[in-house]
Chain A
Amino acid sequence: MTVYLRQVAAIVRKDLLLEVRTGERLAAMGALTVLVAVLFHFAIDQGLVRMQLLAAGLIWMTILFGGMLGMGRTFEMEREQGAIQGLLTSPVPLDGIYLAKVVSNFVLVTLIEVVALAAYWLFFGFNYGNDPLLLAGVLGVATLGFVAVTTLFSAISAQTNMGQTLLPILIFPLLVPVVIFGVTATGRIFASRPVQEVEGSLYLLAAFTVVALTAGTILFRYVVEE
């Protein structure tokens, strides 16, 4: 493993260890995820609406709101005792810091997705289709794109007085492709449609993710450098 990858791994490991010790972000994200599912359970008259048709949209909205809540605090832990200066003046390349934050956020959001799928299955009995690998692939690619954009913007919002209030305003317009293609792809997987009907959305999600990761890797430097 190169020094670069070891540095990235060290930051990921530290972030996840801190999350395990404090549970701050995961607890808030998990609670919101379950709460949103509970609220939808009571807010929608299931006698009038075919819930399965709404499954992909509900799940994606829940993941986006829950994920946003936790990722908005990505750089909070680095503010404590000026740790961000420790990172920025260490030999770790700035893009390495960004990638590490993307990976640790990806892990957290993936856990939230498991919680969301379980909660909606429990409250609504959703059918998630018969291709779990394809579902995991779509969720993984879309989550990576979501996390890539949100991590960059949480670095921006961390430097403003408005902080987390600003994050959703900045980020939601940029997440429209994730919502459109993520919902389309997962909806078709839930409906057990042929793979060919999912491929188009999956490729567009992958393209979005590649662009988001590339842009984030390049732009992060300009966000944190003074």
Chain B
Amino acid sequence: MPAAAAASRAGLPVLEAASLVRDYGPVRAVDHVSFRLAAGEFLSVFGPNGAGKTSLLRLLAGGLRPTAGEVRVSGIPLTVGDRAARARIGILSHLSFLYGRLTARENLRFYGRLHGLDDLDSRVPDRLADVGLEGYADSPVDTLSRGTVQRLAVARALLHDPGIVLLDEPYTGLDAYAGAMLQELLSALKDGGRTVVMVTHNLGRGLELADRVAIQVRGSFVFEAERADLDAVGLERSYRRAVEGRA
């Protein structure tokens, strides 16, 4: 993560949302959201259905154009179609972005080529091993379980060594075992110095890894706190109050 490290050394936030707004016609999905994350920081964003969490993540990924405000990656405004910035961002969603009729290896090689990676012969097996899927390299994705597909999606998201990782409800559809495995993988991401934003309904999982938390309701961050200032009970109480409009 040379860019992230350089930004961090320069005192710049690696990822910054500056008064982000996104409207869909008359509906405001993201309403003046602002935050700054340094290298290695993990932000968990909680919120009820329809709070605008996924829209926020798509804005951060450069996949959606803001109505107002901007996203900055290492101090540089992110524009839709910004190839250099996109190469530094990895996205993991509850949708895998994988092709069911391709094998695990073929999917990773495809995304590797999109990222212009040259060392796919060594990188792909390494990433598969990282998520414990070396034995599934030649299995079509259609034949894999939901948890296995999600682990493969983690490998896809991290294939190009992104400095920034965006996670959209990564636990959706996972059983307890697969959820625990994903939690370990995300913990390793954090330990590896990556800047992470995760949006989730799962208060326990989100709090466990976070350095900071935010609660998004009707597009806005209505509650923000440092992890150190919050325990699980406090978060649950804050969440309930935020959702009920008493934050």
- 3 closest A-B pairs by beta carbon, nearest first, are A86-B97, A82-B95, A10-B113
| Contact among A7, A80, A91, A92 for B99, CB-based, below 8 A | A80
Q: Which residues of A contact B (CB under 8 A)?
A: 3, 6-7, 9-11, 14, 17-18, 21-22, 77, 80-83, 85-94, 221, 225-226
Q: With both chains docked as a complex, state the minimum distance between the C-beta of B187 and any C-beta of chain A, in angstroms.
A: 24
What is the total of A-B residue contacts with beta carbons within 8 Å?
82
A226 close to B106 (CB less than 8 A) = no
Q: Is B5 an interface residue (CB 8 A)?
A: no
Closest A residue to B98 by beta carbon equals: A81
- A-side interface mostly: helix
CA distance A87 to B91 in the complex (A): 11
Residues of B within 8 A of A91 (CB): 83-84, 86-87, 114-116
Residues of A within 8 A of B101 (CB): 18, 21-22
Residues of B within 8 A of A221 (CB): 81
CA distance A9 to B109 in the complex (A): 13
Residues of A within 8 A of B110 (CB): 10, 14
Residues of B within 8 A of A14 (CB): 99, 102, 106, 110
**Contact A89/B65 with A7-B113, A14-B110, A18-B102 known, Cβ cut-off 8 Å:** no
Q: With both chains docked as a complex, state the minimum distance between the C-beta of B101 and any C-beta of chain A, in angstroms.
A: 5
Residues of A within 8 A of B102 (CB): 14, 17-18, 21
Q: Is B89 an interface residue (CB 8 A)?
A: yes
| Contact among A85, A92, A94, A225 for B95, CB-based, below 8 A | A85
Which of B30-38, B40-48, B56-64, B232-240 lies at the binding interface?
B56-64
Interface size class of B (residues with CB under 8 A): 20 to 34
B116 close to A89 (CB less than 8 A) = no
Residues of B within 8 A of A226 (CB): 63-65
| Contact among B91, B100, B106, B113 for A89, CB-based, below 8 A | B91
B116 close to A6 (CB less than 8 A) = yes
21 contacts between A and B (CB under 8 A): A6-B116, A10-B110, A18-B99, A21-B101, A81-B95, A82-B95, A82-B96, A85-B58, A85-B97, A86-B91, A87-B114, A89-B89, A90-B111, A91-B84, A91-B86, A91-B87, A91-B115, A93-B81, A225-B65, A225-B80, A226-B64
B63 close to A85 (CB less than 8 A) = yes
B99 close to A10 (CB less than 8 A) = no
Q: A17-B106, A81-B95, A89-B91 are in contact. List 8 more A-B contacts (CB 8 A).
A: A7-B114, A18-B101, A18-B102, A85-B63, A86-B98, A86-B156, A90-B114, A226-B64
Residues of B within 8 A of A93 (CB): 81, 83
CA distance A9 to B114 in the complex (A): 9
Q: With both chains docked as a complex, state the minimum distance between the C-beta of A32 and any C-beta of chain B, in angstroms.
A: 23
CA distance A82 to B95 in the complex (A): 6
Closest A residue to B160 by beta carbon equals: A91
A92 close to B114 (CB less than 8 A) = yes
Residues of B within 8 A of A9 (CB): 113
Residues of A within 8 A of B81 (CB): 93-94, 221, 225
A83 close to B116 (CB less than 8 A) = no
CA distance A32 to B156 in the complex (A): 38
B100 close to A81 (CB less than 8 A) = yes
A77 close to B65 (CB less than 8 A) = no
Residues of A within 8 A of B200 (CB): none
